[in-house]
Amino acid sequence: MGISGINDGWFIEMSDQSFAGQARALKVKSFLHHGRSKFQEVLVFESESYGNVLVLDGIIQATERDEFAYQEMISHIPLYAHLNPSKVLVIGGGDGGVLREVVKHNSVNSVTLVEIDETVITLAKKYLPSMSSAFNHPKVDVKLQDGFMYLRAAAAAHQKFDIIITDSSDPEGPAAAFFQKEYFQLLFNALNGTGIVIAQTSENVWLNLQYIKQLMTTAREVFPVVNYCYTTVPTYTSGQLGLIVCGKKQGTNLVQPIRQPSETEQENMRYYNSQMHSASFILPTWAENCLNR
């Protein structure tokens, strides 16, 4: 089985659907794993400059060098925007990075991770140990199943969460359903009254602004408060990754953190701080006019 995206010792990420006309390349130092799980093609390699790299269906998901910029922002923005986040649900995130960040919060009593592809978890534990360090944390419960099915079952059982983090891969293959109105409705139903949900948008304002606008329009059909923010991740095409944040309660302020990191919490963060939280919602004029006016 050939390895897609490999050319003369370089991994080249190309996707006509997600970022037509652009590509991102990393020099390969050694191959660590390549194969197919039940759901997708999985590649792990050691790069020359970004450490170990996880690739799903030809798209870079995480590298050891810059993963914290994404994991910290998608985790801490909703957690610090909530007064007392106790019960957290993570959908996707089989690499464990979000889990690592969520358990840093003393207020969190339980974290449920729902991941459909066990292979991602297994490989993360082997090749991305700094990301997957929280899988054995006593607050963590892992469910190997489809996120949609879990949310439907949670609704039937009247389960509610304070924070839901959708850490899915791009809207292709098994993650495609995570970007539809039905999914936002399931998220809304699974939140407590003051609950907050955050999801990666798979795009940023430089790549596909109209897609983000459409996604926010869909979310606003369900949630009374919807905002867009972003983080900088060098190994994502164009260097930014967008996040959509939704509050169940009218008037929820997602832009200003309601809590501040303690000294100990801040010492364990490399990207997030309270100023970065608010600054990440500030958009260039053309993007602000498109998305929020």
| Residue 167 annotated to the active site | yes
Environment class of 162 (CB within 10 Å of its CB; exposed 0-12, middle 13-18, buried 19+): buried
Catalytic residue from among 66, 95, 167, 170:
167
Environment class of 96 (CB within 10 Å of its CB; exposed 0-12, middle 13-18, buried 19+): buried
Is residue 246 within 8 Å of residue 228, measured between CB atoms? no
Coil, helix or strand at residue 236:
coil
Give CA–CA dist 235/280, Å, rounded. Answer: 18
Which distant-in-sequence residues (6+ apart) come within 8 Å of 21 by Cβ?
Answer: none
Give CA–CA dist 37/57, Å, rounded. Answer: 10
Tokens of 16: 């006509």
Give CA–CA dist 191/188, Å, rounded. Answer: 6
Give CA–CA dist 129/241, Å, rounded. Answer: 23
Strands 6-7 and 10-13: antiparallel
Active-site residue numbers? Answer: 167
